[in-house]
Chain A
Amino acid sequence: MTTGPMTPFDHRPDPRLGEALRAALEPGDQAAFVARVVAAAARPARTLDVLATWARRGLAAAMAAAAIAGFLVGRGGEPATIPEDTLAPTSAGAASIAFVTAARPPDASVVFTTLVNGSR
């Protein structure tokens, strides 16, 4: 498809190339296509389409919430457990307070050691 004096640098449309491309891309029945589009535009949105849209939005919101929650939990780090020093206080009362106020239960071995030490 050479077009005589025209070169790829030309800033004018190439009529011969354009005509050949137009013929190659020419679609079929225009009237049927127009009727199809106009009919589709007149059709109300189907319930399932609406529900699917809602479901997609809900899923996206849930994923975002999960990501934010994950970030916040991860940022907080491991909740502190009770260090052994705290559980070996001079008085049994302080140890009991530490047990009650700790965010996580202490390791069983720590509790056992504390109890054994306390009973001596």
Chain B
Amino acid sequence: MQPEPPSVQPPEGPARIEDEAELATRARAGDRAAFGRLVERFAPQARRVARAVLQDPHDADDAAQDAFLAALVKLDQYDPRRPFGPWLMRIVANAATDRRRRRTVRQVEPLAPELTGGGPRPDREAEQSALGDRLRAALAELPNRRRIAVVLFDVEGYSHAEIAQILGIPEGTVRSEVFHARRRLRELLADWR
């Protein structure tokens, strides 16, 4: 079976679920190209979610890889009537959280003085980079579950119900976690305009 070219955009809605289910079925049957397509489709969000948990990009990529390999082994547990993303993100979140528990805790670098306001405003590119540093540091201050919830909601576009399924918590708790995360992030970033 020939893999589709990477430039093809994934379908949306029910067609997407069907497409993912078919890819998962083929991957389970040993089709490496199908597994590659799934990895290609979900790698960006898996890596972002893992990075939200672990901060370190290398650790995050290791966790994301572990998650994809674990998903491949567990594909028989995937319900093809449901979207693949939430099922996979649960594995990613667990893999990243496990790795975070296992590793030696690394201290989050304190924000540089020029990032905490008051200093001269750097140029656009440096500004974006500084905003990234600031956001990552702000995320690192949040509890793990809150961090994952806000990234899944505001970055990856998952619904509260899907995030509840991913994190194994009630939907109301997800709403609360997203609310608190947003409030904290906005406080930390209030002077950044």
Contacts and interface: CB of A to CB of B under 8 A. Distances in A.
Interface of A: 1-2, 8-9, 11, 13-14, 17-18, 20-28, 30, 33-34, 36-38, 40-42
B89 to A, nearest CB: 14
The size bracket of the interface on B is: 35 or more
A29 B46 CA distance: 14
B47 A33 contact: yes
A37 B157 contact: no
B183 interface: yes
A17 B51 contact: no
A18 B185 CA distance: 11
Given A1-B192, A38-B39, A13 B57 contact: no
Contacts, number: 100
Interface stretch (B18-26, B80-88, B108-116, B128-136): B128-136
A42 to B, nearest CB: 6
17 contacts: A1-B190, A2-B186, A2-B190, A2-B193, A8-B178, A11-B160, A13-B157, A23-B128, A23-B132, A24-B135, A24-B139, A25-B51, A25-B151, A37-B43, A38-B35, A38-B36, A42-B32
Interface of B: 32, 35-36, 39-40, 43-44, 47-48, 51-52, 57, 60-61, 64-65, 68-69, 72, 128, 131-133, 135-136, 139, 150-151, 153-155, 157, 160, 175, 178-180, 182-183, 185-186, 189-190, 192-193
B136 A24 contact: yes
Given A9-B179, A41-B35, A36 B57 contact: no
Q: Which of B68, B150, B153, B155 has the most CB of A within 10 A?
A: B155
Contact of B153 (A1, A13, A20, A41): A13
Given A1-B189, A38-B35, A25 B155 contact: yes
B86 to A, nearest CB: 15
Contacts of A22: 48, 155
Nearest to A14: B154
- Chain A residues touching B, majority SS: helix
Contact of B72 (A13, A34, A41): A41
A26 to B, nearest CB: 7
A20 B43 contact: no
Contact of B139 (A8, A21, A37): A21
A41 to B, nearest CB: 6
Contacts of B139: 21, 24
A21 B149 CA distance: 13
